[in-house]
């Protein structure tokens, strides 16, 4: 590396012996210049490490190379994991991902979208807060910016949604639990933030009826995203008051199940399949930590990789197509039964 500091494209063009427009073309698309030219530029890059000023670049672009990623709650390893996958894929495609978390608050979600709008991103991937999202606000955003919604569907918002087939998730699990023991109760929050939760409840009810059982739903209080806490407190309360009519509990999601398992442990309720166990417990999502609960949690796995991959691909399709064909495209992935020790 040389001592010379290159401070703009003009100077870099000089040291590489080319003209500025050629350098500009190169940075927009290396393939657009002749191989020999490309080599010369790359050699110069080795010697002088220059990078175009991103602000100057983006100012003159109607469309930047930024991809916005918005998740509702980053402290949930599920979203952290999805975000990681998406980030990686975006980088591979030559885009710069920018990650945001709404931290469970509508106001923040809207602020993020405002910020994003001013960033003129090529596209945005958003997992909305759900029930408490400002639907109209997000809808307007989707009209202006190519946006893919994932995880949490908002009816009639956006052109593309990628998520899980919650009906299939829950049906499969209810059937499994039913044929391997008694029919499950359903353990959930009274007012879940996430629309997936509502689908799961519905699927539970339908599956139970189909199997000739009376649905038995145990709802607990609590708002926000501290699902473990809610599952724990609500679980204790439900156990204390004998609210579970069968010896099998299907939790609306794994985080709730983690809290519930803690409650069981505390109450001395043995969970699992073994002879001396009182209760079977299952969840949904295959949360990264569900393998390490006590006992390890039987659950339905979301296909993280597939959801991330498909979301990104659909976004790039959307960007490429340009046409605002208002055909709503939904993609739902099926889950796989992950059988562990808890049920």
- Closest CB to a second copy among residues 105, 135: 105
Looking at 30, 181, 215, 288, which residue binds a second copy (CB under 8 A)? Answer: 288
Nearer to a second copy, 71 or 207 (CB): 71
Distance from C-alpha of 79 to C-alpha of 31, rounded to nearest angstrom: 35
Out of 57, 211, 217, 337, point to the residue binding DNA (CB under 7 A).
Answer: 57
Q: CB nearer to a second copy: give 4 or 115.
A: 115
Any contact of residue 52 with DNA (CB under 7 A)? yes
Of 305, 300, 310, 309, the C-alpha closest to 334 is: 300
- 136 near 143, Cβ under 8 Å? no
Q: Which residues contact 28 (CB under 8 A, 6 or more apart)?
A: none
Residue from the set 133, 166, 293, 302 that interacts with a second copy by CB under 8 A: 293
User: Which residue, among 331, 343, 339, has the nearest Cα to 158 in the 3D structure?
Assistant: 331
Decide which of DNA, a second copy, none touches 27; Cβ closer than 5 to 8 Å per partner kind: DNA
Is residue 56 a contact residue for DNA (CB under 7 A)?
A: yes
Which residue from 8, 10, 21, 75 is in contact with a second copy, where contact means CB under 8 A?
75
- DSSP output for 289-342: TGGGSSSPPBEEE--HHHHHHHHHHHHHHHHHH-------EEEEEPPEEE--S-
In terms of phi and psi (left: phi > 0; alpha: psi -120 to 50; beta: otherwise), the region of 234 is: alpha
Name residues whose C-beta falls within 8 Å of residue 102's C-beta, 6 or more positions apart in sequence: 70, 71, 72, 73, 108, 109, 112, 129
Strand partners, 96: 66
Q: Which of 98, 152, 170, 178 binds a second copy (CB under 8 A)?
A: 98
By beta-carbon proximity to a second copy, the closer residue of 84 and 213 is 84
Could you tell me which stretch among 24-32, 138-146, 158-166, 286-294 binds DNA (CB under 7 A)?
A: 24-32
Among 4, 42, 47, 59, binds DNA (CB under 7 A): 59
Measured in Å, how far apart are the chain's first and last C-alpha atoms? 61
**Residues lying near DNA in the complex (CB under 7 A):** 7-10, 17-22, 24-25, 27-28, 32-34, 36-37, 52-53, 56-57, 59-61
> Where along the sequence are the contacts to a second copy (CB under 8 A)?
51, 53-56, 58-59, 64, 74-77, 80-81, 83-84, 87-88, 96, 98-101, 103, 114-115, 118-120, 228-229, 232, 258-259, 261-262, 265-266, 288-289, 291-296, 341
């Amino acid at each position: 590396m040389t001592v010379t500091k290159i401070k703009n494209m003009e100077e870099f063009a000089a040291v590489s012996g080319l003209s500025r427009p050629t350098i500009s073309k190169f940075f927009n698309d290396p393939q657009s210049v002749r191989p020999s030219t490309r080599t010369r530029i790359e050699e110069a890059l080795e010697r002088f490490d220059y990078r175009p000023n991103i602000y100057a670049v983006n100012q003159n672009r109607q469309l930047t190379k930024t991809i916005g990623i918005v998740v509702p709650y980053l402290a949930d390893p599920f979203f952290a994991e999805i975000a990681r996958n998406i980030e990686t894929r975006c980088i591979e495609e030559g885009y710069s991902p920018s990650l945001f978390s709404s931290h469970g608050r509508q106001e923040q979600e809207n602020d993020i979208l405002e910020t994003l709008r001013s960033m003129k991103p090529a596209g945005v991937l958003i997992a909305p807060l759900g029930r408490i999202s400002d639907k109209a606000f997000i809808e307007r955003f989707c009209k202006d910016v190519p946006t893919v919604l994932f995880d949490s569907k908002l009816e009639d918002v956006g052109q593309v949604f990628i998520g899980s087939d919650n009906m299939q998730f829950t049906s499969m699990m209810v059937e499994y639990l039913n044929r391997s023991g008694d029919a499950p109760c359903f353990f959930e929050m009274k007012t879940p933030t996430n629309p997936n939760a509502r689908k799961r409840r519905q699927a539970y009810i339908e599956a139970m009826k189909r199997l000739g059982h009376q649905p038995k739903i145990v709802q607990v209080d609590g708002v926000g995203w501290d699902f473990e806490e809610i599952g724990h407190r609500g679980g204790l309360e439900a156990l204390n008051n004998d609210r579970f009519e069968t010896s099998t509990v299907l939790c609306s999601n794994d985080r709730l199940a983690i809290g519930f398992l803690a409650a069981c442990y505390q109450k001395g309720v043995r969970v699992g399949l073994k002879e001396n166990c009182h209760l079977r417990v299952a969840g949904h999502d295959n949360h990264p930590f569900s393998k390490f609960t006590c006992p390890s949690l039987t659950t339905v796995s979301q296909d993280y990789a597939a959801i991330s991959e498909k979301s990104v691909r659909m976004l790039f399709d959307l960007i490429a197509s340009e046409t605002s064909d208002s055909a709503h495209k939904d993609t739902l992935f099926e889950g796989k039964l992950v059988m562990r020790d808890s049920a």
